[in-house]
């Protein structure tokens, strides 16, 4: 029987790569995204067309790949604001009704804003960063963990979230973003203790500069022409790919990661050194 995941922020970037990675590993996935712009933010969010394309690519298994056959019943798109408990709860219900339960809740959705000192940051942008980057994972935990607990014991449930190198490294003009991502680190540590003896673990990954729309917006906020200068800050001297971060999330979602909980794993090309 396939394990079942809900993944937020699934239309592009790390979320999209996570959906594809889980699907390739034989998971059933509900791919969730807002799929519309946020009026509080000055850059474009993922679209419903991108979300549908992620689902389609997740189902496109090469005939000689050796991967198990999947059809449209195994990866589905669901449009929802990940800060809305009712909307995100509907995605969890879909996973339970269509696939029989939930084994991993993966909170990837994120945004960025700033480019000015915190005290000059517009209130709507501040609310978006704190609401999506910290409120989103909290909402995912509140609606997802009860479903994880509904799996009969012994279970191998996983709550996963995406923090950032900004959670542990002060970045100028991104104080709110860093605060939200530090909150994600505290969230998984607290959940790990609360979930003791349940068979469910809580962990996060902390990416460095990754080739995503958020990094492109970061370059704009810093007045940079492109994202290449971010690569020089990382010892590997290149940007990470979304697939590299997603590969760690896919491993964390698997039963083999059961000895790890309350951890924030740096997937950052050495940026945190």
For residue 43, tell me if it sits in a domain.
yes
For residue 273, tell me if it sits in a domain.
no
Decide if 26 contacts 2 (C-beta within 8 A): yes
257 DSSP assignment: G
Q: Which domain holds residue 222?
A: 4-267
In the chain the beta strands, taken as DSSP E runs, fall at: 4-8, 28-33, 75-79, 104-107, 157-162, 200-207, 264-267
Return the structure tokens found at 101: 């339960």
Q: How many domains does the chain have?
A: 1
CATH number of the domain bearing residue 165: 3.40.50.720
How much helix, strand and coil, in percent to the nearest 5, is found in the chain?
Answer: 45, 15, 40
For residue 79, tell me if it sits in a domain.
yes
For residue 81, tell me if it sits in a domain.
yes
Strand 200-207 relative to strand 157-162: parallel, antiparallel, unpaired? parallel
Give, for 126, the enclosing helix (H) or strand (E): helix 123-130
Decide if 110 contacts 82 (C-beta within 8 A): no
Of 27, 99, 159, 177, catalytic: 177
For residue 272, tell me if it sits in a domain.
no
What CA–CA distance (Å, rounded) separates 193 from 78? 31
For residue 77, tell me if it sits in a domain.
yes
For residue 32, tell me if it sits in a domain.
yes
For residue 74, tell me if it sits in a domain.
yes
Please report, in tens digits, the pLDDT of each residue of the chain (273 residues total): 789 999 999 999 999 999 999 999 999 999 999 999 999 999 999 999 999 999 999 998 553 455 544 444 599 999 999 999 999 999 999 999 999 999 999 999 999 999 999 999 999 999 999 999 999 999 999 999 999 999 999 999 999 999 999 999 899 999 999 999 999 999 999 999 999 999 999 999 999 999 999 999 999 999 999 999 999 999 999 999 999 999 999 999 999 999 999 999 999 999 988
Return the structure tokens found at 165: 């190198």
pTM of the model: 0.95
- Give catalytic status of residue 43 as yes or no: no
């Amino acid at each position: 029987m396939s394990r079942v995941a809900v993944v937020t922020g699934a239309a592009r970037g790390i979320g999209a790569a996570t959906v594809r990675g889980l699907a390739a590993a034989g998971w059933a996935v509900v791919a969730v995204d807002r799929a519309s712009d946020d009026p509080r933010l000055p850059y474009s969010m993922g679209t419903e067309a991108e979300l549908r394309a992620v689902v389609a690519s997740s189902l496109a298994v090469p005939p000689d790949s050796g991967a198990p056959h999947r059809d449209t019943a195994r990866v589905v798109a669901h449009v929802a604001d990940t800060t809305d408990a009712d909307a995100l709860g509907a995605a969890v219900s879909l996973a339970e009704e269509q696939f029989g339960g939930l084994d991993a809740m993966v909170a990837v959705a994120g945004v960025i804003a700033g480019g000015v000192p915190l005290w000059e940051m517009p209130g709507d942008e501040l609310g978006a960063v704190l609401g999506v980057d910290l409120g989103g994972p909290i909402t995912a935990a509140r609606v997802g963990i009860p479903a994880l607990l509904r799996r009969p014991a012994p279970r191998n449930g996983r709550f996963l979230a995406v923090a950032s190198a900004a959670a542990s490294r002060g970045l100028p003009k991104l104080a709110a973003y860093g605060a939200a991502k530090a909150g994600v680190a505290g969230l998984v540590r607290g959940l790990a203790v609360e979930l003791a003896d349940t068979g469910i673990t809580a962990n996060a990954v902390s990416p460095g500069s990754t080739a995503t729309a958020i990094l492109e917006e970061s370059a704009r906020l810093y007045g940079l022409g492109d994202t290449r200068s971010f690569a020089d800050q990382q010892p590997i001297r290149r940007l990470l790919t979304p697939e590299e971060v997603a590969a760690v999330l896919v491993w964390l979602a698997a039963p083999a990661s059961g000895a790890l909980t309350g951890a924030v794993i740096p997937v950052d090309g050495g940026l945190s050194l």
